[in-house]
């Protein structure tokens, strides 16, 4: 069974930082691209970042470029999202997501809430 | 950035009726489109990939069609569990972009 379990969310002041983690299991993590998607309260979905299977290539939405960093540890089957210089508009549930090719399906974690407020 | 525009924003439908949701891309995305269903408090659930292929376990009442810039999700006979918000997503160009969503509500 594919599982993605996020953690690391919480309340942080504007300008602060958070590190989100997503632990994966049930599929071949080392060959899978991983994504982070966020959803502000009551709003739609926004693709935030993507990382390739070995971590050598990353992409970011313009709204987070230069502030967020995606990384992965294949030995721990974990993908990270470092959130720096946080703004109120970064308040959202952050989901980890993966397309598993041999299952022809995608999988999402339960999400972790990051709240940026003074 | 490719802009995805969904219409209508809200669709009021009676159970058993057909629902037709539209998604338009600001430039061609070939068939690189996903459809998701999201219910309150839940992560999105993949319905359709490649614009027209149903994901694993998705009932046949969900049909995706279109290519290029115009796409449609049709739910042939709405069941109670289908009332939710539906999003399209293009994955042809980075950044991947979602539509703003269509809420399907009970009439």
Identity of the residue in A47, A50, A62 whose CB atom sits nearest the CB atom of B98 = A47
pLDDT, tens digit (0-9, with 9 covering 90-100), for B22-36: 999 999 999 999 999
Strands B70-75 and B53-54: unpaired
- Confidence tier at A95 by pLDDT (50, 70, 90): very high
Q: What are phi and psi of A66, to 5 degrees?
A: 90, -15
Q: How far apart are CA A65 and CA A91, in angstroms?
A: 16
Q: What are phi and psi of B12, to 5 degrees?
A: -100, 120
Handedness of CA B22, B26, B30, B32 (dihedral sign): negative
pLDDT, tens digit (0-9, with 9 covering 90-100), for B36-94: 999 999 999 999 999 999 999 999 999 999 999 999 999 999 999 999 999 999 999 99
Contact (CB<8Å) A45/B36: yes
CA distance A61 to chain B (A): 6
Identity of the residue in A46, A95, A103 whose CB atom sits nearest the CB atom of B56 = A103
Contact (CB<8Å) A104/B55: yes
Tell me if chain A has a CB within 8 Å of the CB of B35.
no
Identity of the residue in A44, A60, A105 whose CB atom sits nearest the CB atom of B101 = A44
pLDDT, tens digit (0-9, with 9 covering 90-100), for A1-54: 999 999 999 999 999 999 999 999 999 999 999 999 999 999 999 999 999 999
Q: How far apart are CA A80 and CA A13, in angstroms?
A: 20
Q: How far apart are CA B20 and CA B32, in angstroms?
A: 19
Tell me if chain B has a CB within 8 Å of the CB of A89.
no
């Amino acid at each position: 069974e594919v599982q993605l379990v996020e953690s690391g969310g919480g309340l942080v002041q504007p300008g602060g930082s958070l590190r989100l983690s997503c632990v994966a299991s049930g599929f071949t993590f080392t060959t899978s691209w991983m994504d982070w998607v966020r959803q502000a309260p009551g709003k739609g979905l926004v693709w935030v970042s993507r990382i390739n299977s070995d971590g050598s290539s990353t992409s970011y939405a313009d709204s987070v470029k230069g502030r967020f960093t995606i990384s992965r540890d294949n030995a721990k089957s974990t993908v990270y999202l470092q959130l720096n210089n946080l703004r109120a508009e970064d308040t959202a549930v952050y989901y980890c997501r993966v397309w598993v090719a041999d299952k022809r399906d995608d999988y999402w974690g339960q999400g972790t809430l990051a709240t940026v407020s003074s | 950035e490719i802009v995805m525009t969904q219409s209508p924003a809200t669709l009021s439908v009676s159970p058993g009726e057909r629902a037709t949701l539209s998604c338009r891309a600001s430039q061609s995305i070939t068939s690189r489109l996903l459809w998701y269903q999201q219910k309150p408090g839940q992560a999105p659930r993949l319905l359709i990939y490649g614009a027209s292929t149903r994901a694993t376990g998705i009932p046949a009442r969900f049909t995706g069609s279109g290519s290029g810039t115009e796409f449609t999700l049709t739910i042939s006979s709405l069941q109670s569990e289908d009332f939710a918000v539906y999003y399209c997503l293009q994955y042809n160009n980075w950044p991947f972009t979602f539509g703003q969503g269509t809420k399907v509500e009970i009439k």
